[in-house]
Amino acid sequence: MTTPIWIEAAINGPWGKERQPGIPIAIPDIVADGIAAVEAGAAIVHLHVYDVETGRQRDDWQLYARAIEGIRAKVDAIVYPTIPILGSGYAGDMIGSGRYTHLEELAKRGLVEWGVLDPGSCNWTTFAGIPGGEPGFIYQNPGEHIREGMAVAHANRIHPSYAIYEPGFTRLGAALAKAYPGLPTPIYRLMFSDAFAWGFPPKAYALEAHLALLAEDAPGAPVMIAGLGVDLSGLIGPAVARGVHVRAGLEDAHFGCTKTNAALVSETVKLVEAAGGRAASVVEIRADLAARR
């Protein structure tokens, strides 16, 4: 029997077209890419929305609503937004009173099942930029912001999609989940990179280290491999063997990638199948998460 593996498509990201020229920026293009990614095998779509004039991220719930409704009008999928990357030039404008205002507004309207929640802060610098003196930035998630996100997720029955940039994110995320009884099951999205000097490279030993910690702090939790500026193809086999899910798409791909989101998802599906897995349906994912509550 093949293992059902959740496949998420991260279709754009915070960078804008200067680092990833192929990402969709306008809402119709985001919708089209999201639909194409689902038709290629993804059951989950993660997206950012933008001010089309500046190309910068703009976390306006109405823009997200248009994108989510556009995708889900054509395909059934879990579609969820990001949060501002506080501390960086990619953060965009803060809309409303907090970093999770848009998520709460979307939840009130029944448009989201998951939400990004990053339990920790870390330094972001690229390896390519270090010789030239690139200072990078600190991706900031202060405790009060994390608590804001947890409260929104808890009150609105949203699954936190934890981005695990460093092992301490797992420890904090697991401890916080226990502090909110009844919180929908968090997803631990392990972030690897070839481009940034945080976390682990996409190596099997690194996956095993993450999984060993998760076995202690969040046993049985759903786990996914993902990253930024990364090629995960060599890690998909070990991930599938351990029942770990997979993310693909232009947000995660090496900068300057010339492939489409649909092509990246299709390639990932083939690698999952070659490793003895199969792409899970959105019905299977929802049922799996419901059974964990």
- Domains, in order of start, for the chain: 3-291 (3.20.20.70)
Is residue 259 predicted with pLDDT exceeding 70? yes
pLDDT score, position 91 = 62
From the list 275, 266, 279, 261, the residue with the least C-alpha distance to 11 is 261
Structure tokens at 248: 């693909």
Distances from the Cα of 78 to the Cαs of 40, 124, 222, 242, in angstroms? 15, 28, 15, 23
Least confident of 89-98, 152-161, 261-270: 89-98
Percent of the chain surpassing pLDDT 70: 95
From the list 2, 68, 71, 66, the residue with the least C-alpha distance to 38 is 71
DSSP string of 124-149, one letter each residue: E-BTTTTTTT---EEE---HHHHHHH
pLDDT score, position 84 = 83
pLDDT score, position 87 = 63
pLDDT score, position 135 = 93
Q: Over range 37-61, report the average pLDDT.
A: 94
pLDDT score, position 283 = 98
pLDDT digits (tens, 9 = 90+) for 177-224: 999 999 999 999 999 999 999 999 999 999 999 999 999 999 999 999
pLDDT score, position 54 = 87
Whole-angstrom Cα distance, residue 172 to residue 13?
24
pLDDT score, position 15 = 83
